[in-house]
Structure formats: structure tokens, C-alpha cells
Amino acid sequence: MRQRLLKLVPQLLAVLVLAVVTLGAWAAWLGWDQQRDVHPDGSTTGPYEAWQVIGLVLTLLALVYWAASRRYIAGAVLGTTVGLTIAAYYDWSDDSSGLFMVGVGMVMVGSLVVTAVVSVVIASVKRKGPPSRR
């Protein structure tokens, strides 16, 4: 029982660390930009630019790669998902329509599915190792 608990501690630590780092990545890439852009025709876009979202995705991909390559699959999947869900909820909760919860739910489900698939692929590739040369 004690050995099983000791094996669980690194996974739980990975979940916590990845959740905190994901929150920080959201704040660094998306948290500071809260203004919508108004175009001459009256339409609005934003508040995020494409380069900000791409930067966040690449940052999270590096974090998921780090965790999955070390066999912290639960940490990669749950930590990233929890961090993104909390960040989206906090960032979007001032929406008066109440529809922000739909977006938060989509972030949660999407990040859960994508990080699970990416983590499994990374872990399986790392398990096989590099191809042997003959």
C-alpha cells in the first residue's frame, strides 16, 4: 500500500505543477489582452490575436511533451485541462450573457481530448525509442 502511494505522489505533483504552469501560460499569452478590436464597419474581433493563441498552444505542447515523455500521462492530461479550465473560467466570467460557461465547457472537453491523444502518442513513441540503424 505504501509503495503504491509513493508511486502516486509524482503523478499528483505533475498534475499540480502542470495546472499552475498552464495558468501562468494563459496569463502570459492571453490574460493581458482584454480589449476587442472594432473595425471600420462596426464589427468586432478579439480579444485575442492568432499569434497569442498559437503561442499558448506551442507552450502547452512543450509542457505536455515534457510530462508525457516522463510517463506522467495523468499529469499531462489532467494538469493541462484543469489549468486551462480554471483560466478560461476566471478570464471569461465577467460575460453578462452567461454564455461563457459554454466556452469554458468547450475548452475543458477540447483540452481533455487533445492532451490525452497527444500524451498517448508521445508516450508510445518514446517507449519504442528511436529506430535502430542496421
Per-residue pLDDT tens digits for 46-63: 788 899 999 999 999 999
CA distance 39 to 131: 52
Half-sphere exposure of 110 (CA within 13 A, CB side): 10
Nearest to 22 by CA among 103, 84, 104: 84
Per-residue pLDDT tens digits for 96-108: 888 899 999 999 9
**pLDDT range class, residue 131, cuts 50, 70, 90:** low
Per-residue pLDDT tens digits for 8-43: 888 899 999 999 999 999 999 998 877 777 878 888
Arithmetic mean of pLDDT, 121-127: 88
The predicted pLDDT at position 116 comes to: 97
Which pTM value belongs to this model?
Answer: 0.85
